[in-house]
Amino acid sequence: MTIVELMKKRRSIRRYKISPISKHLINKIIEAASYAPSGLNRQPWFFVAVSNSNLKERIRQECEKHERRFYEQVKGNFRESLSFFDLSPVKSFLTQAPYLIVVFAKKEDPYWKESIWISIGYMILKIEEEGLASLTYTPPGMSFLNKMLSMSNNYKAVAILPVGYPDEKVNLSKRKRKLIGQLVKFID
């Protein structure tokens, strides 16, 4: 498959089979992230791959606690989008998926925000290439992850990627993309 074919095929998945995946595959996914460009080549990323069921359960409980608080106060357009996508504070994928890759960025490195998101882009395509699925999950509170995963405070958790085999039929009509004509203007 070409890269563009992979890009078109990739979809966010929120239900996973419990089938395990190997550490070798997780290493290949992290290796793909390591090829991302980064500001001043600082490579401001670190990844914690969690398969321990007990730890996944604790991460889920903490995320759901933050989600419930968030759902209580979210209003307007954001609330409408959440119900359009049938999202709720329940995050079963955090315990279903065999692995959670927690993405940390080193806050003191210049351009860490820009760089970390490119590395995530590389990973989600590699996950697709391996016939697996993922979701870029950004819970409303993530600082608890430093203590839970023994990461120093120089690092900031930016996303959790559940990784596993998909167990969901995606409704593509809710995931339409803007047309090229809406995205670009040429100035010759």
User: Is residue 34 close enough to count as binding ligand FMN by CB under 6 A?
Assistant: no
Contact 135, 99 (CB under 8 A): no
Largest CA distance in the chain: 58
State in angstroms the smallest separation of the CB of 136 from ligand FMN.
4
Tell me the site size for ligand FMN, rule CB under 6 A.
9
By CB under 6 A, name the one of 27, 52, 53, 138 that touches ligand FMN.
138
Task: Indicate the pairing of strand 99-106 with strand 45-50.
Answer: antiparallel
Tokens matching residue 161: 């990627």
User: Is residue 11 close enough to count as binding ligand FMN by CB under 6 A?
Assistant: yes
The span from the CA of 105 to the CA of 125, in Å, is: 19
**Closest to 99 in 3D by CA, of 163, 33, 24:** 163
User: Is residue 137 close enough to count as binding ligand FMN by CB under 6 A?
Assistant: yes
Closer CB to ligand FMN, 22 or 88, in the complex: 88
Closer CB to ligand FMN, 43 or 136, in the complex: 136
The span from the CA of 178 to the CA of 161, in Å, is: 25
User: Is residue 92 close enough to count as binding ligand FMN by CB under 6 A?
Assistant: no
**Closest to 47 in 3D by CA, of 106, 99, 101:** 101
State in angstroms the smallest separation of the CB of 83 from ligand FMN.
13
Cβ burial of 163 (10 Å; 0-12, 13-18, 19+) is buried
State in angstroms the smallest separation of the CB of 23 from ligand FMN.
26
User: Is residue 7 close enough to count as binding ligand FMN by CB under 6 A?
Assistant: no
Closer CB to ligand FMN, 26 or 135, in the complex: 135
Residue with tokens 């398969």: 51
- Interface residues with ligand FMN (CB under 6 A)? 11-12, 14, 87, 135-138, 175
